[in-house]
Amino acid sequence: MKININDITAAPKQLSYGEEVGELNERLGRGVRDFQVATMRVDVEYYRAGLDLFFQGAVHGDVVGNCARCLEEYPFRVDGRFTRVLTPRVAAATGGGQLSADVRELSTYAGEDVDLTPLVYDEAILALPTRALCAEGCRGLCTRCGANLNEGACGCAQPAAATPHLRAK
Ligand SMILES: [Zn+2]
Ligand SMILES: [Zn+2]
């Protein structure tokens, strides 16, 4: 979602919209975390103070996770809040900092409009859990027969390793 910088005034404005998730899912697909975002809504308030542009709001995503233990897909919702201040890129560049290209991209603006999409993607990724688990207590799959143990015990005998034994050396 792009906002023309001439529309960003000292008087705060509100915007609610549905963000495209295609590129976000491509990014997520390249990572190790197994999530796909179905839909994302963004509520944002924006205004300017001098040359600085302020954005604050929330991202709400409907996400499908792929459980790392039982491999089942499970839907959940993420909500993240964000506040960003963007400074003009030229001023930031002369600031002398050794900012990486990514950081500069996310903290400065240049040109006619501000693209909210990278900021919103960033927040959505930060809001995701570190591991995809359908539930904290997910029992996973039986290592012998592959049955989903959340659906009940399988017929396999309890593996010996599950019972701690003290063994003399
Ligand atoms: Zn699971
Ligand atoms: Zn089993």
The pLDDT of residue 169: 46
Instruction: Give 120 Cα–ligand 2 centroid separation in angstroms.
Output: 43
pLDDT for 80 equals: 93
CA 71 to ligand 1 centroid distance, Å: 6
- pLDDT, tens digit, 9 for 90 and up, residues 144-158: 999 999 999 998 976
Which-ligand-closest: CA of 136?
Answer: 1
Contact 59, 46 (CB under 8 A): no
Q: Which ligand gives the minimal distance to the CA of 65?
A: 1
- Ligand 1 centroid to Cα of residue 74, in Å, is 8
* pLDDT score of 99: 60
Q: What pLDDT, in 10s, does the model give residues 44-99?
A: 999 999 999 999 999 999 999 999 999 999 999 999 999 999 999 875 455 555 66
Closest CA to 116 of 61, 41, 51: 41
Name the pTM for this structure: 0.77
Report how far ligand 2's centroid is from the alpha carbon of 153 (Å).
Answer: 7
pLDDT in tens, 118-145: 999 999 999 999 889 999 999 999 999 9
Please determine, for residue 37, whether its predicted confidence score (pLDDT) is greater than 60.
yes
Phi and psi angles of residue 156, each rounded to the nearest 5 degrees, phi first: -70, 150
What does the mean pLDDT of the chain come to? Answer: 86
Place of tokens 């809001």: 127
Q: How far is the CA of 31 from the centre of ligand 1 (A)?
A: 19
- Closest ligand to C-alpha of residue 145 is 2
Ligand 1 centroid, distance to 137 Cα (angstroms): 8
The alpha carbon of 158 and the centre of ligand 2 are apart by a number of angstroms equal to 8
Average pLDDT over residues 35-43: 96
Residue 30's pLDDT band (cuts 50, 70, 90): confident
Rounded to whole angstroms, how far apart are CA atoms 1 and 80? 17
pLDDT exceeds 70 at position 10: yes
- Burial (CB < 10 A; 0-12, 13-18, 19+), residue 37, is buried
| Confidence check: pLDDT of 160 > 80 | no
Kindly give the distance from the C-alpha atom of residue 148 to the centroid of ligand 2, in angstroms, as a whole number: 8
> How many residues appear in the chain?
169
